[in-house]
């Protein structure tokens, strides 16, 4: 119900707004009546008066003027639809409306119509003469005389026409076309739909069988009883005026409207009671925030030197008791090397707890880049068993270990480091922390280089056994 109301309401809105915006391809009722009345006045009023009325009703160069002119031209193409006087008026309008001072004949869109009319052997001679006069009026020298013939009415023109006058020599079509440059005036672009469009009106005379449609028998007689097949021309005329479409009747084309997309899974909103998320009270308000001070102090100490076993135990316990404490113990990636060197166990514990924090990547970077030592290896080794380390990190660490061994100058220190690395690698391999294949060549080369060291030989044997 309400839907219906709304739609009609909307219709009205559309109607009112449309007048402003839509390009109508047909004449409105008002416009048709106006044009019709102009045509009807053909018998009494002079051409010029009618033309100027036309121009005031349909502003020059407006779209509606073009639609009117088009309808008019369509009617002119049908010989019977307009009476002779009306036809002359029609031609005059079409000519005058588009032949301003600025534009000559060649710009008139209806020029082909004029030429066809002028060359039509079947047409009345006065009509052809009139058209020729129209066409030539522009080129005539004195503007005053040119419109002299338009100051009479159409019926007067017809009456006073002297067919015997030799003045009326009708030129050939080609001659006219050449004179007015019709060929040059081809519409620049059109589409097949338009090219192929037909007049959208189709005569369908409703007549008794075997009667001559051209006889005046069936014209409506005033006062007489209408008989079958009779009709009023004026009625048809005004109907046609309002229906003739600029677009005409083009080839039909099936343009199916796209279907609605069926409702998708999960598109309809299914409602579930959610968690009742309440506002939180901030319990940390005015709370003694000194928790962890002890650990922080101890960590600070641990950066400077090894902690006593009891202290170390305390740190580990405190860290274990409060999983969040690790974030507040004052350790930063920059300080990690000191912690590793002095208290590797605490470092392991801290790193293990930080494994899920985004900062862990920074810690790893620091760990990889610090000097190789027993303690750093110890930390990495323990980490590998406690948590999953990024394999990239382990690989880089091992590479660093090996290159450290190679670069060290002091023979004694080198031996020491090589042994450490070997033990470390063995442990990694035994615990399946690293995939030997990834590092096989590198490690093998390392073993061979330091084969004089017992641990390296052992590592080599281990590698071989795994092959």
Q: Which residues inside 288-317 make contact with other proteins, applying CB under 8 A?
A: 288-290, 292-293, 296-297, 300-301, 305-306, 309, 312-313, 316
Which of 68, 72, 345, 380: binder of other proteins (CB under 8 A)?
Answer: 345
Give 180's contacts (C-beta < 8 A, 6+ positions apart).
105, 106, 111, 115, 135
Using CB under 8 A as the binding rule, whether residue 333 contacts other proteins is answered as: no
Using CB under 8 A as the binding rule, whether residue 116 contacts other proteins is answered as: no
CB of 180 to other proteins, least distance (A): 27
Q: C-alpha angle with apex 427: 425 to 432, nearest 5 degrees? A: 95
**What string marks each residue from 421 to 460 as x (binds other proteins by CB under 8 A) or -?**
--x--xx--xx-----------------------x--x--
Pick between residue 164 and residue 264 the one whose CB is nearest to other proteins: 264
- How many CB atoms are closer than 10 A to CB 337? 19
Query: First and final CA of the chain: distance in angstroms?
Result: 85
Give 91's contacts (C-beta < 8 A, 6+ positions apart).
76, 114, 117, 127, 130, 131, 134
CB of 126 to other proteins, least distance (A): 24
* CA atoms of 28 and 280, how far apart (whole Å): 70
Backbone angles phi, psi at 219, to 5 degrees: -70, 145
Pick between residue 30 and residue 174 the one whose CB is nearest to other proteins: 30
Which of 52, 148, 221, 357: binder of other proteins (CB under 8 A)?
Answer: 357
Pick between residue 152 and residue 426 the one whose CB is nearest to other proteins: 426
Which of 167, 210, 261, 441: binder of other proteins (CB under 8 A)?
Answer: 261
Using CB under 8 A as the binding rule, whether residue 11 contacts other proteins is answered as: yes
> Helix 125-137 to helix 111-119 angle, to the nearest 10 degrees?
140
Pick between residue 150 and residue 238 the one whose CB is nearest to other proteins: 238
**What string marks each residue from 17 to 36 as x (binds other proteins by CB under 8 A) or -?**
xx--xxx-xx--x--xx--x
Structure tokens at 192: 């097949």
DSSP conformational letter for 43: G
Which of 121, 187, 282, 467: binder of other proteins (CB under 8 A)?
Answer: 282
Name the burial class of residue 121, with classes exposed (0-12), middle (13-18) and buried (19+) by CB atoms within 10 angstroms of its CB: exposed
Helical ranges in 41-171 per DSSP H: 47-57, 63-77, 84-98, 111-119, 125-137, 143-146, 154-160
Q: Which residues inside 375-394 make contact with other proteins, applying CB under 8 A?
A: 375, 378, 381-382, 385-388, 390-392
CB of 213 to other proteins, least distance (A): 5
Query: Are 76 and 82 spatial neighbours (Cβ–Cβ below 8 Å)?
Result: yes
Which of 3, 121, 187, 410: binder of other proteins (CB under 8 A)?
Answer: 3
Query: Are 158 and 85 spatial neighbours (Cβ–Cβ below 8 Å)?
Result: yes
Which of 167, 184, 186, 202: binder of other proteins (CB under 8 A)?
Answer: 202
Which residues share a beta bridge with 53?
none
* CA atoms of 126 and 124, how far apart (whole Å): 5
Pick between residue 234 and residue 371 the one whose CB is nearest to other proteins: 234
- How many CB atoms are closer than 10 A to CB 289? 9
Query: Are 88 and 111 spatial neighbours (Cβ–Cβ below 8 Å)?
Result: no
Using CB under 8 A as the binding rule, whether residue 287 contacts other proteins is answered as: yes
Q: Which residues inside 137-196 make contact with other proteins, applying CB under 8 A?
A: 189-193, 195-196
Which of 210, 285, 410, 411: binder of other proteins (CB under 8 A)?
Answer: 285
Using CB under 8 A as the binding rule, whether residue 322 contacts other proteins is answered as: yes
Greatest CA separation for the chain: 140
CA dist 458 → 4, 419, 463 (Å): 93, 10, 9
Pick between residue 168 and residue 416 the one whose CB is nearest to other proteins: 416
Using CB under 8 A, which of the segments 101-109, 113-121, 165-173, 413-421 binds other proteins? 413-421
Pick between residue 9 and residue 159 the one whose CB is nearest to other proteins: 9
Query: Are 383 and 348 spatial neighbours (Cβ–Cβ below 8 Å)?
Result: yes
**What string marks each residue from 46 to 85 as x (binds other proteins by CB under 8 A) or -?**
----------------------------------------
* CA atoms of 388 and 383, how far apart (whole Å): 8
Which of 141, 188, 205, 223: binder of other proteins (CB under 8 A)?
Answer: 205
**What string marks each residue from 237 to 256 as x (binds other proteins by CB under 8 A) or -?**
xxxx-xxxx-x-xxxxxxxx
């Amino acid at each position: 119900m309400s839907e219906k109301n709304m739609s009609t309401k909307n219709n009205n809105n559309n109607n009112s707004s449309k007048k402003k915006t839509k390009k109508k391809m047909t004449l409105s009722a008002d416009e048709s009546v106006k044009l019709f009345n102009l045509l009807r006045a053909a018998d009494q009023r002079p051409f010029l008066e009618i033309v100027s009325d036309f121009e005031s009703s349909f502003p020059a160069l407006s779209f509606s003027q073009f639609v009117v002119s088009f309808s008019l031209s369509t009617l002119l193409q049908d010989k019977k639809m307009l009476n002779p006087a009306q036809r002359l008026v029609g031609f005059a309008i079409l000519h005058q409306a588009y032949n301003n001072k600025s534009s000559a004949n060649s710009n008139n869109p209806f020029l082909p119509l004029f030429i066809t009319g002028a060359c039509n052997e079947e047409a009345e001679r006065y009509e052809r003469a009139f058209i020729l006069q129209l066409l030539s009026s522009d080129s005539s020298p004195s503007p005053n005389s040119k419109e002299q013939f338009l100051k009479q009415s159409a019926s007067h023109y017809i009456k006073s026409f002297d067919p015997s006058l030799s003045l009326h020599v009708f030129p050939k079509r080609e001659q006219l076309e050449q004179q007015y440059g019709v060929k040059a005036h081809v519409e620049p672009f059109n589409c097949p739909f338009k090219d192929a469009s037909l007049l959208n009106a189709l005569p369908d005379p409703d007549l008794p069988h075997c009667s001559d449609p051209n006889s005046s028998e069936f014209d409506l007689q005033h006062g007489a009883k209408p008989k079958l097949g009779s009709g009023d021309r004026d009625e048809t005329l005004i109907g046609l005026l309002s229906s003739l479409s600029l677009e005409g009747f083009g080839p039909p084309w099936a343009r199916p409207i796209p279907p609605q997309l069926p409702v998708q899974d999960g598109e309809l909103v299914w409602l579930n009671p959610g968690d009742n998320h309440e506002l939180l009270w901030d319990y940390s308000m005015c709370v003694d925030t000194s928790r962890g001070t002890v650990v922080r102090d101890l960590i600070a100490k641990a950066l400077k030197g090894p902690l006593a076993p009891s202290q170390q135990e305390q740190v580990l316990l405190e860290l274990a008791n409060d999983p969040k404490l690790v974030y507040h113990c004052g350790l930063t990636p920059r300080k990690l090397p000191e912690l590793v060197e002095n208290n590797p166990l605490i470092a392991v514990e801290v790193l293990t707890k930080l494994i899920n924090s985004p900062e862990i990547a920074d810690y790893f970077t620091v760990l990889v880049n610090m000097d190789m030592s027993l303690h750093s290896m110890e930390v990495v080794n323990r980490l590998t068993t406690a948590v999953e380390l990024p394999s990239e990190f382990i690989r880089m660490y091992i590479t660093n270990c090996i290159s450290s061994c190679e670069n060290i100058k002091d023979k004694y220190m080198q031996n020491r480091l090589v042994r450490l690395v070997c033990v470390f690698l063995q442990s990694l391999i035994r615990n399946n922390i690293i995939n030997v294949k990834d590092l096989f060549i590198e490690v093998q080369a390392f073993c061979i280089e330091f084969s004089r060291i017992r641990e390296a030989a052992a590592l080599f044997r281990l590698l071989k056994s795994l092959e």
